[in-house]
Structure 1
Amino acid sequence: MTAEQELPSVSAGGGVGAGAAGTDPAGKPDRIDTLVVGAGIAGLTAARLLQREGHRVVVLEARSRVGGRVWTDRTGGRITDRGASWIHGIHDSPVEQAARAFGMRMVEFTVGGYQPDSRPLTYFEAAGARMSPDAVRRYADDIRTVNTVLERLISDAGSEATFGDLVERALAEQDWSSARVESVREYNDRRAQEQYGVAMMHLGAHGLDDDVIDGPEVVFPDGYDELASRLADGLDVRLGHAVTRVAWASEGVVISTADASFAAARTIVTVPVGVLQAGDLVLEPPLPPRQARALALFRMNAFEKVVLRFRQRFWEDGVYGIRQLGPEGEWWHSWYDLGRLHDEPALLTFAAGPAAIATRDWSDDDIAASSVAQLRRLYGDAVPDPTSVVVTRWQDDPFSRGSYAYMLPGSVGADHDVLAEPLRPAPCGPAVLHLAGEATWGDDPATVPAALLSGHRAAQNVLERPVAVSDLWA
């Protein structure tokens, strides 16, 4: 039995059946209009739109499931989104529109953008004492004051500066005590880590340009992966097909896996930038210098989720999360109440940036114990041992090599979009290679909307005409 026969695929009818081989009986590669590499949100979006326009599309996916970095774990009857969780602002969001059209339940949870006071948060100062409401207001006001200065500095900054450089410049303009300066410096470093999984001194100056929340944030109590499942419905998705080579030329593309080859007029490659950089998937010829330069300006981050479930709740009702200031919060500073999703005592925290790197080889139990030790510093013996622990391992995932991309110093927002420029082997010939995915969308990278919109753009580039994004759910 061949590998293709053993592996499941999402069939053209939307069910699961035997995967079709990549070659016909004579040994010649199948001929397809468009091959999509990757069944994440970007790839499924592009494939769905192209198929609606009459293209024969095949999606090749290395994993045994669709969704990519949208992954819902349902072990033991519990729902845990190991990948994407939030829509960071639902106003004019195509993901919110798609979710509503698909009937996906949404719950408001507005703190995922690391705002200081958008919803009730319980703050603890460096010594471990609870902060008063007045102290929290002063702290949030200081953050907003520096953010206003940062907006000006970032707009004038060259690409070589880091976000941390600009934070220091903004703080230097304030006539504040050292304690006030340090608290806002700390906030911005943790903001960079929680938003992009990297310390602020290693994030490009424009790395948080997109960090704007437009409207309430929402999460999905039934799992974010319902979006991927609905987008995949009716598509020819070949699961378990890890692409190793994409050869592109004027006459089309030939894509190779370990066990099969596929030919098409063109391809849309949606794998994360970490996979492109690792060399596990080889482009022949390599990307042109313009796109190669842009790719080199991004890195996949170190960012892992930690979900702790308890027998009983020990934190206050009505709060969205817990924040710890000061050196004790270097790794574990924010915990978010998942009880509003599933009516269970559960907290979500993140091992982000340096914490993710330092704990990469730790067991799940050791990571949980480290985080719980900080909770006990704040709440004392009221904190029980967790009944279950979920820790993600995106850094070690060969098909992502991190959670999402961040900008290195030297990059600007337009570099995202450079990666998505259609590539033509001959100047006047057809575009045969298209890149898509969250890292290729400049307006709101590192998000599910970015992935979806990049797939929409790729489909339009293939068609060479506009199509409505709402066709995805029409």
Structure 2
Amino acid sequence: MGLSRRAFLERVGKAGGYGALYVTMQGMGLLATPKAYAAPNLPAGSGKGVKVAVLGAGVAGLVAAYELRKAGYEVTVLEARQRPGGRAWSVRGGDRIQQIGRPDQTVDWESGRHHYFNAGPARIPQTHRAILSYCRDLGVPLEVMVNGNRMAKLDFGGKVVTNGQATNDTRGAFAELLSKAISRGSLDQELTPADKQALLGYLGFYGDLNPERMYAGSVRSTFKDPPGGYLHPPSSGEPLRLKDMMQSRFWGASLIFEEISEMQATMLQPVGGMDRISYALYEQVKPAVKFGAEVKEIRRRGKGVRIAYVDAGGAQRLDADYAIVTIPVPVLRKITADFSPAVQKALANTQYHEGTKVAWQTRRFWEQDDFQYGGLGWTEEPSELVWYPSGGFGEKTGILVGAYSIGFSGPENPRKFAAMSFDERFAVSRRVIEKFHPGRGRELGKPVTVAWDQTPYSEGVAVSWEEAQRTTDYATLCRPDGPFFFAGEHLSYINAWQEGAALSSHEAIKLLQARVSAA
């Protein structure tokens, strides 16, 4: 009996983690392909006299407010936090980090343009045209974000090597295996003699095989002796063997990461922190935004809505014709609301991922001592990633993200890491960085950590839809519920990204505009 598609994907995820699962789903056509971007472009004045309550000032809420106000709608944005952006949160010196059930942290970092920590989203793919268009239109300067770096380290199976060695030794081993199969006639039914010779020639170049079509190491992978002047030619180091790589999980997310459509080696980031986008949107809608406004009830009132909330002045209420609800589902389902039974059921069934980061202020030893600039280091430990900064090259100190646990290296890691105490997380992160940069772990200082399931008004890093839910719970939340419209990254096929939040907001806006036009 064959495997169901769902069972097959579950096995892929357990074996290779999130990255392997993502690429497999992409290959099976289960993920959306980016299309040309077009803003909603509502007719000027079409919303005159119509009141809209936008619940949440994350990217989805800010985009909704921005586009609706341009069309003349009377918009009020209620945000429980004292800042815009939601999960698009950049932490700087002097900030206070609150975590549910954990002690508060005060960030004791020096000031500087590059001394920030993106606790949430931290990169923008070139395929995310909506977010990039808002950056362009609102004057948010961008710089290169180095997502892939062959100099960065991998730590799997008790062995630390560079990403370049693991990638090129894997390529060489596979090229040797395929060359052997061709030479022994194993592919004679699939290839003509001319095809075989052409493919053998290509594999020799692709895998850097020797004249005997064996992989004996390559200077693409690692140097035993680096190239120098005069009589100093390079020589390759000892290659990793196929059996060792099979035992080490080197073939998980780390080696295919840059092949994911949204994880190019070269990505983009706003200069000065990811929250620069949210603040740019906020400046356009500032008069409409109320911070410190915690929503307590979402009610129907005739054909419209009544929102009860609490702010510094006590209990308040807001009456409007419609509401666009962008509050993350783990928080939303705790709020008393007049949603339909179908919507209540869909909210109850919606689950979110854990996601946890650690950041340190430290000397930029990865650049100054090891000449590594940007990129990601991978480990099988629960911390999963070391994320090197892509801005401030040449500065003396910087902010190093010493952990990003979201399931790339193993599905069990996020929950395990989030459950640790702060000191336990810091110890794991320091241990991994010490493996990558011996003797430098002791230089790490002033750590902070954010776990999104423990962050007020978020309580999760991103939605986790099962495939079957896309036609049930997901579809329910994509439809208006009377005067209520829903938006956020959870209502897109680009989950965990600002792009998904923006595009879902566009869809909600179009549905609302159609309702107003038909009234």
TM over 0.5, shorter chain? yes
The structural deviation recorded for 1:380 is 2.4
CA deviations on 1:204-232 (whole Å, 9 max, x unpaired) are xxxx9x96447842122312222112212
Question: Per-residue deviation at 1:57?
Answer: 0.8
Q: Write the distance in 1 (CA, Å) between the matches of 2:308 and 2:172.
A: 55
Q: Which of residues 344, 364, 375 in structure 2 aligns to 1:321?
A: 375
Rounded Cα–Cα distance in structure 1 between residues aligned with 2:308 and 2:423: 40
- Residues 399, 387 of structure 1: alpha-carbon distance in 2 compared, 3 angstrom cutoff: same
Match of 2:269 among 211, 219, 231: 219
Per the alignment, residue 170 of structure 1 pairs with none
The corresponding residue for 1:282 is 336
The 1:408–1:216 alpha-carbon spacing in structure 2 relative to 1, beyond 3 Å, is same
2:56 is matched with 38
Q: Give me the whole-angstrom Cα distance separating, in 2, the residues matched to 1:103 and 1:264.
A: 32
- The match for 2:297 is 245
Task: Identify the residue that residue 77 of structure 2 maps to in structure 1.
Answer: 59
Moved more, 131-140 or 63-72: 131-140
User: In 2, are the aligned partners of 1:364 and 1:389 still within 8 Å (CA)?
Assistant: no
Q: For 1:137-184, what per-residue CA distance to the aligned partner results, in whole angstroms no more than 9, with x for missing partners? A: 2447999xxxxxxxxxxxxxxxxxxxxxxxxxxxxxxxx977555555
Is the 1:91–1:215 Cα contact (8 Å) retained in structure 2? no
Alpha-carbon contact 1:304-1:391 (below 8 Å) kept: yes
Partner of residue 252, structure 2:
187
SS at match of 2:277: helix
Identify the residue that residue 459 of structure 2 maps to in structure 1.
Answer: 401
Cα distance change on mapping 1:416 and 1:139 into 2, 3 Å: farther
Amino acid at match of 2:360: L
2:308–2:318 contact (8 Å) kept in structure 1? yes
How much does 1:58 deviate?
0.6
Kindly indicate whether the alpha-carbon contact (under 8 Å) linking 1:59 and 1:237 is maintained by their aligned counterparts in 2.
yes
Q: Which residue of structure 2 lines up, in the alignment, with residue 351 of structure 1?
A: 405
Corresponding residue of 1:25 = none
Q: Judge conservation of contact 1:308–1:368 (CA < 8 Å) in 2.
A: no
1:435 lines up with 2:489 in the alignment? no
Q: Which residue of 1 aligns with 2:283?
A: 233
The alpha carbon displacement at 1:334 in A equals 2.3
Deviations 1:224-264 (A, max 9, x none): 22211221224311111111111125521111114011111
Match status 1:50 vs 2:64: no
Q: Tell me, in whole angstroms, the C-alpha distance in 1 between the residues paired with 2:270 and 2:78.
A: 27
For 1:453, the aligned partner's letter is L
For 1:90, the equivalent position in structure 2 comes to: 126
Equivalent residues of 1:109, 1:219 under 8 A apart: yes
8 Å Cα contact 2:64/2:505 also seen in 1: yes
2:212 is aligned to none
Mapped to 2, the partners of 1:32 and 1:260 lie a distance apart of 20
Output one character per residue of 1:57-111: Cα deviation in whole Å (capped at 9) or x when no partner.
Answer: 1111111111111112221423222222111x22351111211232222222242
CA distance in 2, matches of 1:249, 1:308: 49
For residues 313-341 of structure 1, give each alpha carbon's deviation from its aligned partner in whole angstroms, at most 9, with x where no partner exists. 0463245335355xxx2313421211534
Amino acid at match of 1:337: Y
Q: 1:74 aligns with which of 76, 92, 96?
A: 92
Identity between Structure 1 and Structure 2 (%): 22
Look up the equivalent residue of 2:460 and give its one-letter code: G
Helix, strand or coil for the counterpart of 2:363? coil
Q: Distance in 2 between matches of 1:211 and 1:141?
A: 24
Offset at residue 36 of structure 1 (A): 0.7
Match of 1:121 in 2: 152
Counterpart contact for 1:246–1:283, Cα < 8 Å = yes
Question: Offset of 1:408 from its aligned partner?
Answer: 3.6
Alignment partner, residue 447 of structure 1: 497
CA contact (8 A) 1:70 1:228 kept: yes
Contact (CA 8 Å) 2:346, 2:477: kept in 1 or not? yes
2:492 & 2:63 partners in 1: Cα distance? 14
Higher relative contact order (CA 8 A, sep 6+): 1
| In 2: Cα distance, 1:140 partner to 1:275 partner | 46
C-alpha contact 2:350 2:473 (8 A) present in aligned 1:
no
Residue equivalent to 2:137: 101
Question: Shift of residue 417 of structure 1?
Answer: 5.0
Distance (whole Å) between structure 2 residues aligned to residue 464 and residue 191 of structure 1: 46
Q: Structure 2: which 5+ runs fail to align?
A: 1-48, 94-109, 175-240
* Distance change >3 Å, CA 134–CA 466, structure 1 → 2: farther
- Give distance in 1, aligned partners of 2:465 and 2:79: 26
Distance (whole Å) between structure 1 residues aligned to residue 386 and residue 127 of structure 2: 26
Residue of structure 2 equivalent to 1:305: 357
Instruction: Kindly indicate whether the alpha-carbon contact (under 8 Å) linking 1:437 and 1:454 is maintained by their aligned counterparts in 2.
Output: yes
Alpha-carbon distance between aligned partners in 2 of 1:132 and 1:39, rounded to the nearest angstrom: 39
Counterpart code for 1:102: L
Task: Kindly tell me the number of residue pairs found equivalent between the two proteins.
Answer: 370
**SS of structure 2 residue aligned to 1:411:** helix
Alignment partner of 2:459: what SS?
coil
Q: Which runs of 4+ in 1 moved over 6 A?
A: 140-143
Instruction: Give the secondary structure class of the aligned counterpart of 1:70.
Output: coil
Consecutive unaligned residues in structure 1, runs of 5 or more: 1-30, 112-116, 144-175, 196-207, 425-431, 468-474
Q: Does the CA-based 8 Å contact 2:359-2:447 persist in structure 1?
A: yes
Residue 122 and residue 140 in structure 1: after superposition, are their counterparts in 2 closer, same or farther (change >3 A)? farther
Q: What residue identity is the alignment partner of 2:336?
A: V
Q: Is the 8 A contact 1:331 1:352 kept in 2?
A: no
Superposition pairs for residues 162-181 of structure 1, below 5 Å?
A: 181=246
Q: C-alpha separation between the residues in 2 aligned to 1:392 and 1:212?
A: 24
Q: 2:513 aligns with which of 455, 458, 463?
A: 463
- Cα shift readout 1:35-75 (whole Å, capped 9, x = no counterpart): 11111111111111111111111111111111111112221
- Letter matched to residue 69 of structure 2: Q
Distance 1:185 1:120 in 2: 15
Go from structure 1 to structure 2 and tell me whether the alpha carbon gap of 1:466 and 1:118 turns closer, same or farther (over 3 Å shift). Answer: farther
Between the aligned partners of 2:357 and 2:471, the Cα distance in structure 1 is: 27
1:297–1:409 Cα contact (<8 Å) kept: no
Partner AA of 1:218 in structure 2: L
Moved more, 408-417 or 292-301: 408-417
The yes-or-no answer on 1:269 pairing with 2:325 is yes
- Which residue type is aligned with residue 311 of structure 1? R
Q: CA deviation at 1:454?
A: 1.5
Matched-pair contact (CA < 8 Å) for 1:298–1:408: no
Q: Does 1:369 align with 2:434?
A: no
Larger radius of gyration: 2
Q: 1:416 to 1:130 in 2, by over 3 A?
A: same
Question: How large is the Cα RMSD of the aligned pairs?
Answer: 3.6
Native 8 Å contact 2:354 2:451 kept in 1: no
Name the CA distance, whole Å, in 2 between partners of 1:140 and 1:36. Answer: 51
